[in-house]
Chains A and B, each alone.
Chain A
């Protein structure tokens, strides 16, 4: 049981490049989400999904796209990377949407945009 797997662990992008951060969970969790964490700050929600085919915006969605074609995968796409998107990105899943307990987080992707 791998839990929540994020790839890559580290990435350096040039301004304007695009890329996809991968997130996969093997726990049959209904709810998945993406957060970003800037230095010295708490986590901020980017996008979330309450099931396959359903996604919605969080508090900082600009510059990011998501899709959820399967229960297991929830990729985050950066359309045109900007230095302001330099951050640590965490994917999280939960058995049931709406529940705030028992979230499982991935180990993070550290992204630097130069």
Chain B
């Protein structure tokens, strides 16, 4: 599985868009980008995933660069409940049974 790099922490004002970057320069052609988040003391929560096209769901948008070496998770209107650790994971969508969680980005939403 490809390795990812995320900033350890970020702040965002409530109501603004939160843009969380992830670098995955060694990503392979069949590897997807997945985002999960972990709100304090709870189990991780799936947010979104994508291969090469931009994706949007009710929680967030995922922008993947054309060369696929990096991506950005966008929370369009951040609320205090979005304060969490956000994990960017890169792996194939078959076979390998492990989700590798690194240390992620601790996002703090400021009132």
Q: B103 touching A42 by the CB < 8 A rule?
A: yes
Over the window 38-71 of chain A, the binary record of Cβ atoms lying under 8 Å from chain B Cβ atoms (1 yes, 0 no) is 0011110100101000001011000000000000
User: Which residue of the partner chain, among B49, B97, B100, contacts A97 with CB atoms under 8 Å?
Assistant: B97
Q: A108 touching B41 by the CB < 8 A rule?
A: yes
Known: A92-B43, A103-B44, A108-B42. A50 touches B97 (CB 8 A): yes
Interface of B, helix, strand, loop or mixed by DSSP: loop
User: Which residue of the partner chain, among B34, B43, B95, B96, contacts A101 with CB atoms under 8 Å?
Assistant: B34
> How many residues of chain A have a CB within 8 Å of chain B?
29
Q: Which residues does chain B contribute within 8 Å of A4, judged by CB atoms?
A: 43
Q: A107 touching B42 by the CB < 8 A rule?
A: yes
User: Which residue of the partner chain, among B42, B43, B49, B103, contacts A100 with CB atoms under 8 Å?
Assistant: B49
Q: Which residues does chain B contribute within 8 Å of A35, judged by CB atoms?
A: 101
Is B93 close to A, CB under 8 A?
Answer: yes
A40 CB to closest chain B CB (Å) equals 8
B34 CB to closest chain A CB (Å) equals 5
Q: Which residues does chain B contribute within 8 Å of A103, judged by CB atoms?
A: 36, 44, 46, 99
- 19 A–B pairs (Cβ distance < 8 Å), ordered by A: A31-B97, A33-B97, A35-B101, A41-B103, A42-B100, A42-B101, A42-B102, A42-B104, A48-B97, A48-B98, A56-B97, A59-B98, A98-B93, A98-B94, A98-B96, A100-B89, A101-B49, A102-B46, A107-B43
- The interface of chain A, by Cβ under 8 A from chain B, is 4, 31, 33, 35, 40-43, 45, 48, 50, 56, 58-59, 88, 90, 92, 97-108
